[in-house]
């Protein structure tokens, strides 16, 4: 799900309990759908349809969280990059001239 957000998903799963809960719920719904589809029974079509709608609603929530987190995560990545650049270039030079 959302391969372009793989890094953000990993970060949010580790740091955001609500996101992690939604992600786990989506996975559980997906598994339930797959199990019902594997039964190949026409009697289960309504239940499968309801689960798919729930799964889509959760997926939309996940996507909204990913989109909202993307700018924040980009800023964090940029700050980390700049901190590393400073440590590798400016900091050593400052210490050498002193």
pTM of the model: 0.70
Identify the segments of the chain with pLDDT beneath 70.
71-83, 85-87, 89-98
Q: In this predicted structure, what is the pLDDT of residue 24?
A: 97
Query: Are 1 and 62 in contact, with CB atoms under 8 Å apart?
Result: yes
Confidence at residue 42, expressed as pLDDT on a 0 to 100 scale: 87
Report the distance separating Cα 21 and Cα 92, nearest Å. 44
CA distance 50 to 56: 10
Query: Structural domain boundaries of the chain?
Result: 3-97
**pLDDT at residue 41, as a whole number:** 87
pLDDT in tens, 2-26: 988 898 899 999 999 999 999 999 9
What is the residue-wise DSSP string for 37-78? HHH--GGGHHHHHHHHHHHHHHHHHHHHHHHHHHHHHHHHHH
């Amino acid at each position: 799900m959302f391969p372009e957000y793989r890094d953000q998903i990993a970060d949010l799963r580790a740091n955001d309990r609500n996101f992690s809960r939604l992600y786990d719920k989506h996975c559980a719904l997906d598994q339930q759908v797959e199990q019902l589809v594997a039964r190949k029974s026409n009697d289960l079509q309504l239940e499968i349809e309801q689960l798919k709608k729930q799964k889509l609603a959760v997926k939309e929530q996940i996507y909204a969280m990913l989109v909202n987190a993307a700018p924040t995560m980009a800023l964090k990545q940029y700050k980390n990059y700049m901190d590393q650049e400073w440590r590798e270039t400016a900091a050593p030079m400052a210490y050498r001239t002193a």
